[in-house]
Every structure is written in C-alpha cells, then in structure tokens.
Amino acid sequence: NAGVTQTPKFRVLKTGQSMTLLCAQDMNHEYMYWYRQDPGMGLRLIHYSVGEGTTAKGEVPDGYNVSRLKKQNFLLGLESAAPSQTSVYFCASSYRYGNSYNSPLHFGNGTRLTVT
Amino acid sequence: AQRVTQPEKLLSVFKGAPVELKCNYSYSGSPELFWYVQYSRQRLQLLLRHISRESIKGFTADLNKGETSFHLKKPFAQEEDSAMYYCALIGEYGNKLVFGAGTILRVKS
C-alpha cells in the first residue's frame, strides 16, 4: 500500500497561473481532505469530501476548487494563483465516520507551492 | 464553532525533563480530541486520541472537560521526541478535523 500520494511535491507558479494538485489514496477511504499549512497558523482545512461525487467547504475555501470524481482521487485546483496561496498543502484520508469515534487521518507528504 | 488553541509556538526542554504541551479547545458539544505529530522529513501522523486512553511513546493526554483542555504530557523527554505537535478536534458532524497552530518541541541533550 502506498497510502496517500500527492503530486507534485514542489511547484512554483506566477501570479494568475492555474494548477491542479492531485491526491490519490489506495486504502478505500471514504473521506478525503485538503489542508494548507502555514507558519503560526497550523493546518487549516480548505475543502473536504465525504464520498465520491461530493465535496464541501472547509475553513479557507476561497480561491480553491476541488473535485472527487473517483473515490481514490481528490483534486485541488487553483484557478488564478495568488502570492497568499504560497503554502504547503497536505492531503489526508480516513474511514467513514463511525458510531462513536472516527478513524485517524492518513496524510500525504505534502506539496510545497510558491506563488511569485 | 470549533477552535483549538496551542499557546506555545516553541517548547524547548532538556533531555530527561518533563514535557507538557498545552492544548485548549472551544466546542459546545462532546468533542473527540487527538494529538498528531510530524517528525522531521516525515508525514504527519496520529500520536494518540483521547478516546483510547492509551500511552504512546511515553506520552499521555487527558481530556479535561471542565477546563476544556487536552494537554500532552511525558515525564521524561527524549531527543527523538523533537517534532511538531498538533492538537486536533472533531466536533459535531464528525467529518472535519480542526487543528491548532502547532507547537515545536525541541529536546536538547
């Protein structure tokens, strides 16, 4: 099992350019998440998905779009990149919410994005 | 709304000293709380969860609903404990994990 795989690992964009970050998991997890990690602010949830074909907004969704066309993949899109989107992006996945507790999140290695 | 506060950005201790990483939360219902850890050049991973009431790598954390805290403790720090530690909470809908800002733990020899 590869677990959660993110591509690319690094990317530099110019302001206004677009790109898509790919997250793939091979654990048959229902839930998938995109977080951004910034110094002093921890991990903030951008968007998440509770199943194939469904997505929802997290804490900081503006400027991002997502799609979950296949259960194993969760794509994060930046339509028009801005310097404020310079960050490290983490994808995570987990099993479906249970009756009394949740499974832990499995994280990818992260994507370091710089927008100049 | 759910909120997790970790007041310390950096905690520096000597090897063998006790460690306490603070975490306070804001949530009106019954939360589920976690500690995640990120070692250098490794993925973020689960350290422990309050519902399990277990000790992992010598760390424990007790949920104190009166003080709305979930502090992480270890009686004797080791150099390999140096890492970034995140406290996290799942609230009412059970599908959004909210993280604190994180605390860097540095254990000096």
Q: What is the CA radius of gyration of chain B?
A: 13
Which residue, among B36, B54, B96, B103, would best test binding to A if mutated, counting the most A CBs under 10 Å from its CB?
A: B96
**How far is it, in rounded angstroms, from Cα B77 to Cα B18?**
6
Distances (CA, A) of B105 to A12, A19, A87, B18: 30, 35, 22, 12
CA–chain centroid gap for A14, Å, is 20
Closest CA to B74 of B13, B9, B10: B13
Is B90 at the interface with chain A, CB within 8 A? yes
Q: What is the mean pLDDT of chain B?
A: 91
Which residue, among A31, A43, A45, would best test binding to B if mutated, counting the most B CBs under 10 Å from its CB?
A: A43
The pLDDT score that the predictor gives to residue B92 is 61
The pLDDT score that the predictor gives to residue A100 is 46
Residue-wise pLDDT for B45-94, tens only, equals 999 988 777 888 999 998 998 999 999 999 999 999 999 999 999 876 66
Residue-wise pLDDT for A25-84, tens only, equals 999 998 899 999 998 888 999 999 989 999 999 989 999 999 999 999 999 999 999 999
* Three-state SS annotation for A17-69: CCEEEEEEECCCCCEEEEEEEECCCEEEEEEEEEECCEEEECCCCCCEEEECC
The pLDDT score that the predictor gives to residue B95 is 66
Is A10 at the interface with chain B, CB within 8 A? no
The pLDDT score that the predictor gives to residue B94 is 63
Residue-wise pLDDT for A4-31, tens only, equals 999 999 999 999 999 999 999 999 998 8
**For residue A8, cis peptide bond before it (omega within 30 degrees of 0):** yes
Contact by Cβ (8 Å): B66, B25 = no
Burial class (CB in 10 A: 0-12, 13-18, 19+), B104: middle
Contact by Cβ (8 Å): B34, B94 = no
